[in-house]
Amino acid sequence: MTGMRSQAPMRSVQKKDSESGERAVPKVERSATTGHWMQLQRTLGNRRVGELLQRNMQLSAEPTEIVVQRAPGLPTKQDLESDGLKAGTKFGLGKTSWGNLGDALVVYEKLGNTDYAAQKEQLTKIEHILGEWRASYNLRESNKKLKKKDPAKLLKVNEILESIKQRRAVILEAEAPSDGRDGRRRAEAFSKREVIAPLTRQQEIVEEKKEMKASETMDEYLKKSGYKQDRNYMSWGNGTIAHVSWKAHVGSGDASQRLDIAQMVSPLLKSWEVYHKFDITPTPKPIDKFLTVYPPDADEEWENIVNMLESALGGFATVDVTGDMPVGETGKVNMRHGQNTPLTPSMLRGVDVASDGKVGDFTKMVGTAVQGDGLPLWELGGKLFFNKIETAEPPSKLNPNTIYMAILVDGRIVPDKREEPNPANVPLPKGVKKFERL
């Protein structure tokens, strides 16, 4: 039975600007001097000051301390260090660029919330630093150095780049001329020092809808990122996949988070050049195999891939994957060893198996390599499978309720029992550990 692990999102970089906007309201008492209101108008703009006036905050001759929120949208240097992402690594990779990034974030943090020109200039500088770091990261070609790549830093870089894009969209919208009726009404009210009536909840909903930016769907994001559609999946990768192998799955428990997960892990998986796919079924229900990751070129890379996925999924709601084994430190990533492609007679060269005659359209296969625990092995249409029950007769229907697909593992032909995460009893990839729930 599928179990759900729900966690509230804890993403430190991609904060919604509606949240940032709420924090952007200065701490103001019930009254403030005229000079303070003028300062607020310069730093926050007419609209935000109008909202303060709607809360019945009055002008006064008494001085009041006003704290203006700094530029939102990006992590601080302290945020990076609190995540353990200091300049460089023990291998000395990316030390210069990562140190420059911290310094650039310090400069950005000191900018005012509405210093849009300065923000845009600094965002461009940060992008340039991240571009140099990514170029250095991608040049580490040898397998020896590949193991020393830092998935946590790559994850943070992609988060920051996405946040820069979102912040630019907010700045573009904020700088657009406001000539609507409500905009003029608020500006005129402020200039006359008048308190305007608060908006009703219905009016607030209308305003919120106006401010919402049109967002792309997961299908649109994956298509423009080079993914190809196959049934209800969007797949990325080239080449052939092994007949059997370890696979990783991630289940999604919250439909509203699926685009965010795709945007988070897609660039990372592509950088590792591993074949993977997303389930794009439009359903609000949980999807237990939302993401499938097929084996990398080197089996020892599984450890880094599992660690990277766990870091990316920390704040998202995931679900257990039926028939899989939870692995890693959190159990949010699940793995299973089994079939990727059907077992065919042509793949049995050198394996002790032979025909035992036909029963209708079916051919019964026998031999010392057949290890189905008493279940009969059949061939039909060039594919091999086991009956789920011990009977001399072939199955009447070929579906998961009546058959197990056959798999060839180390010269043994065994049934791929989908309710078991490791039907052939193959060791987990090096460095990957089974997750044990307390």
- Predicted confidence (pLDDT) per residue in 133-171, tens digit: 777 776 664 444 544 567 788 888 888 888 888 888 777
pLDDT at 107: 87
pLDDT at 374: 92
- Predicted confidence (pLDDT) per residue in 61-85, tens digit: 444 444 445 777 888 888 888 777 7
Name the band, by pLDDT with cuts 50, 70 and 90, for residue 195. very low
Tell me what the mean pLDDT of segment 276-304 comes to: 94
- Predicted confidence (pLDDT) per residue in 412-429, tens digit: 999 999 999 999 999 999
In whole angstroms, what is the distance from residue 307 CA to residue 294 CA? 15
Four-point Cα dihedral 15, 20, 22, 27, nearest 10: 130
Name the band, by pLDDT with cuts 50, 70 and 90, for residue 279. very high
pLDDT at 63: 43
Contacts 24+ apart (CB under 8 A), 421-424: 421/323, 421/324, 421/325, 421/334, 421/335, 421/336, 421/337, 422/325, 422/336, 422/337, 423/337, 423/338, 424/244, 424/337
Residue 323 above 90 pLDDT? Answer: yes
Radius of gyration of the chain (CA): 29
Tell me what the mean pLDDT of segment 220-235 comes to: 94
Higher pLDDT, 13 or 182: 182
Name the band, by pLDDT with cuts 50, 70 and 90, for residue 1. very low
- Predicted confidence (pLDDT) per residue in 340-391, tens digit: 999 999 999 999 999 999 999 999 999 999 999 999 999 999 999 999 999 8
Characterize 257-291 residue by residue with b for buried, 16 or more Cβ atoms within 10 angstroms of its Cβ, and e for exposed: bbbbbbbbbbbbbebbebbbbbbbeeeeebbbbbb
pLDDT at 7: 42
Share the mean pLDDT of the chain: 78
Which of 44-53, 90-99, 116-125, 147-156 is modeled with the greatest confidence?
116-125
pLDDT at 210: 53
Contact indicator for 72, 113 with CB cutoff of 8 Å = yes
pLDDT at 77: 83
Residue 88 above 70 pLDDT? Answer: no
pLDDT at 214: 46
pLDDT at 39: 55
pLDDT at 284: 92
Which of 11-25, 26-40, 46-60, 255-269 is modeled with the greatest confidence?
255-269
Name the band, by pLDDT with cuts 50, 70 and 90, for residue 240. confident
pLDDT at 132: 80
Which of 106-115, 322-331, 347-356, 374-383 has the weakest average pLDDT?
106-115
